[in-house]
Chain A
Amino acid sequence: EDQVTQSPEALRLQEGESSSLNCSYTVSGLRGLFWYRQDPGKGPEFLFTLYSAGEEKEKERLKATLTKKESFLHITAPKPEDSATYLCAVQGNTGGFKTIFGAGTRLFVKA
Chain B
Amino acid sequence: EAGVAQSPRYKIIEKRQSVAFWCNPISGHATLYWYQQILGQGPKLLIQFQNNGVVDDSQLPKDRFSAERLKGVDSTLKIQPAKLEDSAVYLCASSLDHFRTDNSPLHFGNGTRLTVT
Contact = CB atoms under 8 A, between A and B. Distances in A.
B41 A103 contact: yes
B14 interface: no
Interface residues of B, number: 25
A25 interface: no
B55 A34 contact: no
Contacts of B109: 43
Interface string B84-117: 0000000101000011000101111111000000
Looking at chain A, what size class is its interface with the partner chain?
20 to 34
Interface in B11-56: 33, 35, 40-45, 48, 55-56
A87 B42 CA distance: 7
B56 A31 contact: no
Contacts, number: 55
Q: Which of A6, A49, A87, A97 has the most CB of B within 10 A?
A: A97
Contacts of B44: 101
Given A95-B56, A98-B48, A99-B45, A43 B108 contact: yes
Nearest to B104: A49
Contacts of B48: 96, 98
B42 A102 contact: yes
A43 B42 contact: no
Nearest to A95: B56
Contacts of B45: 98-100
Given A98-B45, A101-B44, A41 B108 contact: no
A78 interface: no
B60 interface: no
Interface string A24-59: 000000011010100001111110010000000000
A91 interface: yes
Given A43-B110, A101-B43, A49 B105 contact: yes
Interface of A: 4, 6, 31-32, 34, 36, 41-46, 49, 87, 89, 91, 95-104
Interface of B: 4, 33, 35, 40-45, 48, 55-56, 58, 91, 93, 98-99, 103, 105-111
The 5 A-B residue pairs with the shortest CB-CB distance in the complex, in nearest-first order:
A43-B108, A101-B42, A96-B56, A46-B105, A96-B55
